[in-house]
Amino acid sequence: MYTLDILIQGYPGKTVHHGGLGWSTVPLLRGHGEVILIDTGSYGYRDPLLEQLDHLGLGREDVTSVVLTHCHWDHICNYPLFPNATVFVPTDDLEWALEQPVGTWHIPEFHVEKLGEEPRAVGVSDGDEFLPGLRALATPGHTPGHLAYVAEGERAELIFAGDAAKNQAELATGKVDMTLDPSASRASIDRLRSLAAEDPANIIVCGHDRLLGLSEGRLVHHGQLTAAVSARLSADFEEETVIDLVSAERAVRALGADTNLIQ
């Protein structure tokens, strides 16, 4: 069995003028003699990611495996930080990414090229149990070769959806944006929901949201969403404004917004 820690919680947001935030979830699994990161975030995550590992008594060299869901910049860019880790990457997704021209949607070209030559990289396909108690699940749509992962947790299964279901709204409705194939994405979400619904104790780790679950067709929150931005909005250097990015969600919940799944 694995224990789960969320090193950095993702956030389901896009900026109005500056493109995607890319604030993705970085989970840590420990068990079976393994220390595993599932996705690694983007460059901006480097300091907080290493700080969170340090809080758990771990360093870069202690990570034994990095497991990638797909080849977008906000998920793969920090794999080089972990010198002793085997890097498990979806075979089909890496092959697709390597074939794309420079400037293709969210692919970090040089990281992908380097990953294609990386001697530590091991390809993974649908159904593979490539580490003890950890298996791959094909969830195409967002990218053609996207994989989710299922681990044996302490109480139930841990389902790492990656960007097959980026947030609770996608998981609840099956509607998606930022996908290359909406029909395939809907089928992948159905697959994830069916798996999650097998046991209300199952945990879903979305690519850009808090921990979730399903109970009798309804979403269950297994944590609070937290996100804020600190900004200097005046000429006074000592004056910083903290902007809470989850206040809108709290308002929606206060109004009793329904989170029933749409069948």
Q: What residue has token string 């075979």?
A: 91
Domain span at residue 55 reads 3-229
Answer yes or no: is 252 within a domain. Answer: no
* CA 261 – CA 263 distance, rounded (Å): 6
Answer yes or no: is 234 within a domain. Answer: no
Model pLDDT, residue 19: 87
What number of residues does the chain have? 263
CA 240 to each of CA 16, 17, 46, 47, 48: distance values in angstroms, whole numbers, following the listed order: 22, 21, 23, 21, 20
Answer yes or no: is 48 within a domain. Answer: yes
Both tokens assigned to 127: 């159904």
Dihedral sign computed on CA atoms, order 142, 166, 138, 194 = negative
Query: What DSSP character marks residue 219?
Result: E
Mean pLDDT by 10 residues, the chain (263 residues): 97 91 97 98 96 98 98 98 98 98 95 97 98 98 98 95 97 95 98 96 97 94 92 95 82 58 43
Determine contact, residues 162/146, Cβ cutoff 8 Å: yes
CA 121 to each of CA 79, 83, 124, 168, 186: distance values in angstroms, whole numbers, following the listed order: 10, 12, 10, 31, 29
Determine contact, residues 159/193, Cβ cutoff 8 Å: no
CB-based contacts of 234, cutoff 8 Å, min separation 6: none
CA 190 to each of CA 30, 92, 102, 170: distance values in angstroms, whole numbers, following the listed order: 28, 21, 32, 10
Answer yes or no: is 176 within a domain. Answer: yes
Residue 204's CATH number: 3.60.15.10
Q: Rounded to 10 degrees, what is the CA torsion of 226, 232, 233, 234?
A: 150
* CA 115 – CA 89 distance, rounded (Å): 9
Answer yes or no: is 30 within a domain. Answer: yes
* CA 30 – CA 40 distance, rounded (Å): 16
Determine contact, residues 66/40, Cβ cutoff 8 Å: yes
Q: In total, how many domains does the chain have?
A: 1
pTM of the model: 0.94
* CA 258 – CA 64 distance, rounded (Å): 41
Model pLDDT, residue 192: 98
List the one residue out of 3, 1, 6 whose CA is nearest residue 224.
6
Largest CA distance in the chain: 56
Answer yes or no: is 11 within a domain. Answer: yes
Answer yes or no: is 243 within a domain. Answer: no
Model pLDDT, residue 262: 41
Answer yes or no: is 254 within a domain. Answer: no
Both tokens assigned to 99: 């074939």
At 59, is the secondary structure helix, strand, or coil?
Answer: coil
How many CB atoms neighbour CB 157 within 10 A? 17
